[in-house]
Chains A and B, each alone.
Chain A
């Protein structure tokens, strides 16, 4: 796996979620994702960046253009040092929320991406990595 470009953004306020969306969209366009895939990855980025902000208390997003020799894509890594998720299985369930949202952000982001990985430790924080491949 090879990273061609990478960009790190901090998420501290609602405006930063907009920045994450814009950076993701511009990289997805550069990578050559089609319009539907662009929209999907941008929407997933929006969900996860907001989770980082609202549930993680802010954090960082790493936006990378990657290639594995055969294909190219966009990989997003969301990291926070928040309270962590006690029950990941429950958190991934449609309609479950510990806040006031629709409870579809995390599971929706998984469905919108090609690859999805979540790691969380109570009291230490949460990391979510998604990848959207071209084509």
Chain B
């Protein structure tokens, strides 16, 4: 195909024209390929939904390519195509697709499009090569965009779960009249410790407890920050008239605390929660006795 200007490689893309004329045919081939490759995960998405998504994408893709900007998808011409992809990402994430699978939705249109381009250009190898190059780059960008949105969606979900874990309020439990226990679990970072401390102080007021047991059996690492948080909690509880016992100090934690140089001298500590409960009962003037068999089993 001779070009009047003598330039053999046309810089004007024929993609928009092709998309317009052959939209139905491209959609058909694309759908067939997608259905074939999706067969293993057929349960995730319905044929009708997939067809609607594919049709909408082709039409948005067509509109955007008409604008002539095939290199840069950050412009306003691509806004609605990208919005559509973001929508698809959201629904696919809910359906259980991985980000890679979602991105391959965009990449899978490459085959049918390239076939069309090949037919269009025929023997004009240079023209075909240039067109393929730019189309490929474009589809890659769209696929990367899709993968990024899909990953962002995941990150949003993870963030939300993290916040939910914060809310997973560490419960303050009443072990005995006047004795509270606070089983601490996981990582004691500033945000969580604040919630934990407020909960405990509130419960001390509500139950008029005189002893609170902080159990750190479930805390993996006791470093100086955790120790500081514990000491602050103990001091605050003391101001409210309750004494604290720290329990659940495992041997390795005890050795580590000693090496760190943290002073827990002013706080009663016990190896287990059971020991701490005994101490609490003792301090409140109770003693625990095993009932004699005869009186326990009296008929």
Contact = CB atoms under 8 A, between A and B. Distances in A.
Contacts of B227: 102
B223 A39 contact: no
A101 B229 CA distance: 10
A105 B256 CA distance: 12
Interface residues of A, number: 24
B231 to A, nearest CB: 8
A42 interface: yes
B255 A105 contact: no
A94 interface: yes
A40 B262 contact: no
B261 interface: yes
A75 interface: no
A44 B228 CA distance: 16
A40 B249 CA distance: 14
A129 interface: no
Interface in B244-286: 251-253, 255-256, 259-262
Contacts, number: 64
A91 interface: no
Secondary structure of the B contact surface, majority rule: helix
A108 interface: yes
A42 B221 contact: yes
Interface in A98-134: 101-102, 104-105, 107-108, 111-112
Interface residues of B, number: 20
Contact of A102 (B222, B224, B255): B224
B137 interface: no
B223 A46 contact: yes
A104 B224 CA distance: 7
Given A36-B252, A102-B227, A112-B256, 20 more contacts: A17-B189, A18-B187, A18-B189, A35-B252, A36-B251, A36-B255, A40-B252, A40-B259, A42-B220, A43-B221, A43-B256, A43-B260, A46-B221, A47-B224, A47-B260, A101-B228, A102-B224, A102-B228, A107-B261, A112-B260
Q: Lowest 4 A-B CB distances belong to which pairs?
A: A108-B260, A39-B252, A46-B223, A111-B259
Interface of A: 14, 17-18, 21, 25, 35-36, 38-40, 42-43, 46-47, 50, 94, 101-102, 104-105, 107-108, 111-112
